[in-house]
């Protein structure tokens, strides 16, 4: 697609931006190409922090993962502009033949529109981009494009179990989200080597319960792809993050060479930080 289309939004009216007001059910939807309308939406405040959330593969705005994240912010951090990039029409179909390739297209288009919003008043220093699964890779493309093409560096990029197939190892087919995409990139791994990235990919990588399946409460054996049981550990990433929005000190973490080293350590207080919303970005 012509790069000019990313700037003027041509052909992207099926990608939407959704601004949430008091609940996940109360929102304003605008086409990505008309993102500037957000600044005029009732309840949108340029003085507040802005969260730009990007959903994952085959997800839609009604998805539980989206509602949980949105409601966590609206209820616990009400002075936040909560925005969803709804790219659901391009996140369907074959993962390998369609969705992963669309991730880059959507990321570049989102960056072009965010650039316009920033130019007319959205504070870059208050922008926090968050992605889940394949949405993490979209988020990486978005932040990377803002940095390399528009000379705007996102302060914080949070990725929740970034999608593994086609992106790792080493960007085999497509470039994956990485520490250079933003000033600070924090990663929560919960299904490493399954649906999620098997290696560190950010400034700070968190591996709760070892970062692999099965996460607590999830089945060890769930053979049906994309079933609730099969996705359970992958989903823990957004569940943990949403809980951290409500309770920023819910998940203390400390550095370790590996999970066995962490388990053997007698001094978890050394270097301790909090995973999720309350993560120390220094």
Tens of pLDDT along 82-96?
999 999 999 999 999
pLDDT for the residue numbered 265: 58
Q: Which of 86, 176, 234, 237 is catalytic?
A: 234
Q: Residue 275: enclosing H or E segment and its boundaries?
A: none
How confident is residue 1, by pLDDT bands cut at 50, 70 and 90?
very low
pTM over 0.75, yes/no: yes
CATH code linked to domain 3-274:
3.40.50.1820
Q: 161 an active-site residue?
A: yes
Q: Is 7 among the residues known to form the active site?
A: no
Residue 115, both tokens: 């650039």
Whether 234 is catalytic: yes
Tell me how crowded residue 59 is: count the other CB atoms within 10 A of its CB: 21
Whether the pLDDT of residue 4 is over 60: the answer is no
Q: Which residue out of 65, 133, 233, 237 is catalytically annotated?
A: 133
User: Is residue 176 pLDDT above 70, yes or no?
Assistant: yes
Of 259, 260, 143, the residue nearest 202 (C-alpha)? 143
How far the first Cα of the chain sits from its last, in Å, is 39
**153 and 185 in contact (C-beta within 8 Å)?**
no
pLDDT for the residue 172: 62
Output the pLDDT for position 170.
73
pLDDT on residue 267: 58
- The residue from 86, 161, 181, 191 that is catalytic is 161
At 162 the three-state DSSP class reads: coil
């Amino acid at each position: 697609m012509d790069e000019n289309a990313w700037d003027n939004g041509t052909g992207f009216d099926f990608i939407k931006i959704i601004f949430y007001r008091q609940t996940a059910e109360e929102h304003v939807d605008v086409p990505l190409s008309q993102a500037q309308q957000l600044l005029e939406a009732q309840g949108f405040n340029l003085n507040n922090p802005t969260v730009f959330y990007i959903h994952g593969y085959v997800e839609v705005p009604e998805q539980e993962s989206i509602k949980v994240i949105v409601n966590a912010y609206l209820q616990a951090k009400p002075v936040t502009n909560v925005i969803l990039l709804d790219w659901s029409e391009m996140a369907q179909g074959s993962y390998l033949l369609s969705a992963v390739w669309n991730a880059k297209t959507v990321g570049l288009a989102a960056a072009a529109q965010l650039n316009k919003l920033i130019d007319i008043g959205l504070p870059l220093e208050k922008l926090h981009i968050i992605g889940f699964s394949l949405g993490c890779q979209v988020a990486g493309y978005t932040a990377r494009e803002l940095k390399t093409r528009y000379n705007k560096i996102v302060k914080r990029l949070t990725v929740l179990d970034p999608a593994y197939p086609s992106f790792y190892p080493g960007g085999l087919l497509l470039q994956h989200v990485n520490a250079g995409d933003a000033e600070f990139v924090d990663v929560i791994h919960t299904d490493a080597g399954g649906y999620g990235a098997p290696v560190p990919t950010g400034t700070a990588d968190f591996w709760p319960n070892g970062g692999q399946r099965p996460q607590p409460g999830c089945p060890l054996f769930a053979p049906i792809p994309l079933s609730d049981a099969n996705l359970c550990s992958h989903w823990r990433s957004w569940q943990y993050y949403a809980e951290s929005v409500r309770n920023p000190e819910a998940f203390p973490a400390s550095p370790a060479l590996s999970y066995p080293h962490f388990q053997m350590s007698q001094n978890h207080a050394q270097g301790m930080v909090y995973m999720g919303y309350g993560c120390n970005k220094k």
